[in-house]
């Protein structure tokens, strides 16, 4: 079958069933090419789920930071936080940092 024969068969099919062809073209247009296509909605839904996960992670960070800020009212906790997290030291004091993440203790 040559290319011209294929074109003729295609045009004959379109002439016999114009409503089916237009419906098929319309469905394909709505699924793929339209501004509100299914592909676009899938992409947006994926982005929404990702942003919701990020939002939840940031909420947990905010809650933990609020807890630290509330505890900072106590001077003992402030000193402990400064020494353990910020690695501050007093004058004339030696500070030794031990990395225990590589070891497993029972």
In a domain, 92, yes or no: no
User: 77-86 burial, b if ≥16 CB within 10 A, otherwise e?
Assistant: eeeeeeeeee
pLDDT at 78: 85
> How many domains does the structure of the chain reveal?
2
> How many C-beta atoms surround the C-beta of residue 24 within 10 A?
11
- In-domain check, residue 11: yes
Pairwise CA distance, residues 103 & 106, whole Å: 10
Residues 4-16 pLDDT 10s: 888 888 888 888 8
The boundaries of the domain holding residue 6 are: 1-34
pLDDT digits (tens, 9 = 90+) for 25-56: 888 888 877 777 888 888 999 999 999 999 99
Residue 101 lies in a domain: no
Whether the pLDDT of residue 98 is over 80: the answer is: no
- Look at residue 23 and tell me if it is in a domain: yes
């Amino acid at each position: 079958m040559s290319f011209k024969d294929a074109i003729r068969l295609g045009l004959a099919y379109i002439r016999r069933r114009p409503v089916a062809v237009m419906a098929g073209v319309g469905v394909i247009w709505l699924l793929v090419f339209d501004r509100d296509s299914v592909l676009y909605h899938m992409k947006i839904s994926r982005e929404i789920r990702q942003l919701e996960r990020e939002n939840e992670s940031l909420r947990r960070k905010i809650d933990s930071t609020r807890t630290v800020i509330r505890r900072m009212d106590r001077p003992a906790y402030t000193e402990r936080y400064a020494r353990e997290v910020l690695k501050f030291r007093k004058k004339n004091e030696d500070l030794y940092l031990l990395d225990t993440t590589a070891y497993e203790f029972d």
